[in-house]
Structures are given as C-alpha cells and as structure tokens.
Amino acid sequence: MGIDYTDFEGPGGGDLTARLLLNASEPVPTSYARFGVDVFIRRLSIGVAGGVTSEDTGIIAPRVGYLFGLTPQIGLWLRAGGFYAGVPNATYAGIYAEALLEYFPYDFIAFHLGPSIDIAFADDPNPNYVSIGIPTMGMSAFF
C-alpha cells in the first residue's frame, strides 16, 4: 500500500497514484502488489518477490537487505534489488531500493513503513521511468 509519484521519460510527464492491497490499475509494474519471501542469515536477508495481475502483467524481483535493530520492537530494514516485468507490448528491467521502518508487536509479525524508489528501463515504445513511493506500507510475517 502507499502513494507513488512516477516520472516518465519523454512525453507524458509525471503521475501521482495511490495503491491499496491488490489494486492493479497503476501505470507501472513496480506498483503492483507482490508476494515476497526473504531468508535471514543473522540480520542479512536474501529474497525474491513476484506477482501477476489479470492484465497479463508479471514481475519478478530478487533482493538483498540488512535489518538493523534499533530497539527490541523497532528496526530499520534496508533492502535493494533488481526487477524484470512483462506487460502487454513491453518489458521493463530495473533496480529498486527501500528503507523500511519495522515495528514488531510480536516476534514473528512486523509492520513496515518507509520510502521506496524504482528506476526502470523499458524497451520501445514504452518510456523509462523513476517511481518514488511516499510512503510504502505493508506487513511481514516471520517463520
């Protein structure tokens, strides 16, 4: 969930959108809801996220991160990775980064809030874009 500002290269300029859960009407594939799995080795995380929509759009996004413990219930999870997305008539590849403030009400559940940035490079005819999430909100479950 969150609010995104996307700036397209070329004509069309910027676009401000809000997303909630599985809303698939966003203008760029990095705003689509994704399911992710991260494995922690101490505080280092290695993971992958992906998703598909009913509009023939799919995205896969491997990532790596590090969780800093600020207090027993609050942490800062810095995450970055790349992504590949296919939409009708175009493909995107790019990089992304997130700085998530984590709140752990229980040892195995965390709620996060923080900014994100996606930089995408598209094949023709779609334009490249930069998308900034201000903020991104979500929940994580740890097993």
The answer to whether 5 and 134 are in contact (CB under 8 A) is yes
Q: What is the pTM of this model?
A: 0.85
How far is 116 from 94, CA to CA, in rounded Å? 13
Q: 14 lies in a domain?
A: no
Q: 142 lies in a domain?
A: no
Average confidence score pLDDT of the chain:
85
pLDDT at site 34: 81
Mark 37-52 as b/e (b = at least 16 C-beta within 10 Å): ebeeeeeebebebbbb
Q: Name the residue range of residue 84's domain.
A: 34-128
Q: 50 lies in a domain?
A: yes
Query: How many domains would you assign to the chain?
Result: 1
Q: 137 lies in a domain?
A: no
pLDDT at site 12: 62
pLDDT confidence bin for 50, thresholds 50/70/90: very high
pLDDT confidence bin for 46, thresholds 50/70/90: very high
Q: 27 lies in a domain?
A: no
pLDDT for 89-100, tens place per residue? 888 999 999 999
pLDDT confidence bin for 135, thresholds 50/70/90: confident
Q: 73 lies in a domain?
A: yes
The answer to whether 6 and 131 are in contact (CB under 8 A) is yes
DSSP 108: T
* Mean pLDDT of the 49-69 span: 90
